[in-house]
Homo-oligomer: A and B are copies of this chain.
Amino acid sequence: MVPDQKEVSNGTERRIKVAEILVPDEAKTSSRIMIFLKAFIVGLASKVWKLLHKAWDIGVDDPRKVIHCLKVGIAVTVVSLFYYVYPLYDAFGEEDAIWAIMTVVVVFENTVGGTVSKCLNRIGGTLLAGLLAMGIQWVASIHWVASKSGNKTIELIINGVAVFLLASLATFSRFLPSVKARFDYGAMIFILTFSLVSVSGYHPENNDAANNRISTILIGTVLCIIISIFVFPIWAGQDLHALIFCNIDKLADSLEGYVAEYFKDGDDLDDGDKECHKKLQGYKSVLSSKATEDSLANFARWEPGHGRFKFRHPWKQYIKVGESMRSCAHCIDALINGCINSENHASEYLKKHISNICMKVSSYSSDVIRELALTIKTMKKSSDIHILVGDMNDVAQVLQVKLKVLPYLFIPPSKPEAAETPESKTTEQQPASKTVVTIMPIMGIIPLVTSTSLLIEIVTRINGIVDAVEELADLAGFKPASNEKCGKDDQLNNNFLPDQEKGKDNIKVFPLPPV
């Protein structure tokens, strides 16, 4: 049965037609796919590029982060030797060598304090849970030996109930604030180890596993602690210390900058305005750094002595300094957003009468803040701080007085008027002119009164920072600044101290202009 010529040629034609119809469609589809792929690749590439750019910025901004990553890489690679090298592998076996790798990956934190805290939590949680689980197993096994029926039901029930109760209790302990702050990870490891040991003990053939596990965990933690302390260590304490004095400095920049901008003559914007604006916004980083301070202080308590810091450095006091800074920053925020950035500037004429003293207050306050930053930075008690605080409080009191005197300044223009008015003028006219002259300028003072009152409140809160920093200096045993300065100045300071302290108390009792 040979197909005739026509059919064959028909078939061929059809195939050619089909091909003709298909080809353009396929071409279209493929070109569409090409376009889609191109767009996808370009989009992906631009995203990856952005991500790389960001990563580069992070690396350049803080090269210690790159070093930390390399340290983690080294630690994980070193601990992998347990697998790669056969003698070690044979000694521990796979299921135990896992624990060394896991320990390193889970425990290695950015800071020494974080790493040490997690290591000690892991070791403590593991040991406690291991011992407890073995004790309970021993009790369970006595019952089992007693029944000796080969039926492990009692052991199973005891183990199950113990796991349930202890897992629940340990989970609840993580809600206690004292546990949450320092032993959260330890509680988790406790649950993990307790369940693992108590169930693995149920299969007696794996009984030596627990010992190997603890020894591999010890190897992992020791490796982490050694690498994190001795290879380019990143100390949480040092970071906290730096964070605090940088933030104090930022407060000074913001306060001085904004007050100067408020009282300066023109509204001329410089080229470096963006840079300047960023500097002025520094107080915002004080407002938002509470969480960082808390976690750094928590980690710092686990760190051994390093650099200028002893083992029991008063890290908690840094949190108090941070709190006092934040309280001051709230007030600066109210000043800046409520008065300075508001649309209702006092007129230049009114400002000028008070600008000098306000600038002085802000500049003296900034000096005090910067001296505090220096005190913390150098860890040396400043010999000038009491003088500076006294000056600041004095100037603040002068501002209070000036605030009271301000209305008098606007009387004089009425005086000559009153003097010029001949006695023949009616008495009815006089009160009218009096109200116009004396009250109109007072209206204009209102924004100035608000901002100066806040400025005086800021001075009060700066005194709070001074107190917190002095307590820190006492607790940490900061030494006096320098010997040659100390010799005379310290005596001078001691002579000045009571007065200055009195002055400080005065300003505290009258933080706002007295009625």
Interface residues of A (CB under 8 A from B): 51, 54-55, 58-59, 65-66, 68-70, 72-74, 76-77, 80, 83-84, 89, 94-95, 98, 101-102, 105-106, 156, 159-160, 163-165, 167-169, 171-173, 175-176, 188, 191-192, 195-196, 199-200, 202-203, 206, 209, 287-288, 290-291, 327, 330-331, 333-334, 337-339, 342-347, 350, 403-404, 407-408, 411, 414-415, 418-419, 423, 427, 430-431, 434-435, 438-439, 442-444, 446-447, 449-450, 453-454, 457, 509-515
Q: Cβ of A338: which chain B residues have Cβ within 8 Å of it? A: 331, 334, 453-454, 457, 511-512
Q: Which of B76, B330, B435, B439 contacts A191 (CB 8 A)?
A: B76
Can you list 19 pairs linking A and B with CB atoms under 8 Å apart?
A54-B176, A55-B175, A72-B171, A72-B191, A73-B163, A74-B164, A80-B163, A94-B95, A102-B192, A102-B196, A327-B333, A331-B334, A333-B334, A334-B338, A334-B454, A343-B509, A344-B511, A344-B513, A403-B446
Q: How would you classify the secondary structure of chain A's contact residues: helix, strand, loop or mixed?
A: helix
C-alpha spacing A339/B499, complex, angstroms: 27
User: By the criterion CB–CB under 8 Å, are B69 and A171 in contact?
Assistant: yes
User: By the criterion CB–CB under 8 Å, are B423 and A408 in contact?
Assistant: no
User: By the criterion CB–CB under 8 Å, are A73 and B165 in contact?
Assistant: yes
Question: How many copies of the polypeptide does the oligomer hold?
Answer: 2
User: By the criterion CB–CB under 8 Å, are A188 and B430 in contact?
Assistant: no
Q: Cβ of A188: which chain B residues have Cβ within 8 Å of it? A: 105-106
Q: Cβ of A176: which chain B residues have Cβ within 8 Å of it? A: 51, 54-55, 58
Closest to A105 in B: B192
C-alpha spacing A445/B418, complex, angstroms: 26
User: By the criterion CB–CB under 8 Å, are A69 and B512 in contact?
Assistant: no
C-alpha spacing A175/B102, complex, angstroms: 20
Q: Cβ of A209: which chain B residues have Cβ within 8 Å of it? A: 94
C-alpha spacing A446/B448, complex, angstroms: 10
Q: Cβ of A449: which chain B residues have Cβ within 8 Å of it? A: 446, 449-450, 453
Most buried by B among A159, A330, A435: A330
